[in-house]
Amino acid sequence: MPVELRCAGMEWAGYSSAAARGGHENLKRGAPVLRWVADRLREDKTLVCFLVWSNPTNLCWASPALQADAEVVGAALASPFYAEPPPPVPVTCVLAFVDEGLRADKATVLTALALSGYEFQFASEALRADAYVAAWAGAPVGSSASRVLSKTFMRTLKAGVTVEHVSAFYQIIVQDDDCKRFSFDLHNWQNPRCRPDKLRDCENILQRMSSCCPLCLRVAPAARELLWPTREEWDGVF
């Protein structure tokens, strides 16, 4: 029989309250940002599913078609944040008082959104039509730190941390700052004398990576691509 080289538990089974609580308790209900997005984003099923899972109140502003979509409604009902209050509204939203040019600056807006999703309402019209910005505006509170993890880190996590992937990109992974920061122990990976248990190493890496980025494996694969655009054509964009 062929050796199974993929870590167990990588198949995504749908938005789930149990999965969202998987050993990580500091994610909280996101801001209800769908009210401020461009109309076309209210029809974006990937984005809407993610946002209603993060905060079911977002369903109020989904398109009528998605309000009638069983998968979207199911994501809202499966939200682990269903019974939580919304995040507090800041006393002052900084973007309400800044120059129009800064409201259109993606870096400035994303910095503000890391503090509060309510800043999104004061972003430029163009950025409120940007699905990436909208997704991070409404992401669960506590997840913003994972937005800036390296592409190497996120590619490895989204690939499922397979033996094949780690072997193919070994040199890149062991030199990546985020991978090194989170203590990937791969020093014996290519040493034939040590005969490491590579599948177990991958399982351990997956556990550490998931802890460092608790949102990734709990959202739909399409939402992972939206939140962490690691495809080559996105390089240099964010």
18-33 pLDDT, tens per residue? Answer: 644 444 457 999 999 9
Tell me if 199 sits within 8 A of 163, measured CB to CB: yes
78 pLDDT exceeds 70? yes
Task: Give the model's pLDDT for residue 183.
Answer: 59
The pLDDT tens digits for 208-225 are: 888 888 888 889 999 999
Return the top range by mean pLDDT from 15-24, 159-168, 194-203: 159-168
Name the percent of the chain lying above pLDDT 90.
56
pTM: predicted TM-score of the whole model, two decimal places: 0.87
CA-CA distance, 238 to 230, in Å (whole number)? Answer: 10
Backbone angles phi, psi at 138, to 5 degrees: -100, 5
Name the percent of the chain lying above pLDDT 70.
86
CA-CA distance, 36 to 134, in Å (whole number)? Answer: 9
Q: How would residue 10 be classed by pLDDT, with cut points 50, 70 and 90? A: low
6 pLDDT exceeds 80? no
Q: In the predicted model, what is the mean pLDDT of residues 85-93?
A: 95
The pLDDT tens digits for 32-61 are: 999 999 999 999 999 999 999 999 999 999
Looking at 36-40, 132-136, 198-202, 233-237, which range is the least confident one? 233-237
111 pLDDT exceeds 90? yes
Find where tokens 């807006």 sit.
109
Average pLDDT, the chain: 86
The pLDDT tens digits for 165-187 are: 888 898 898 889 888 877 576 77
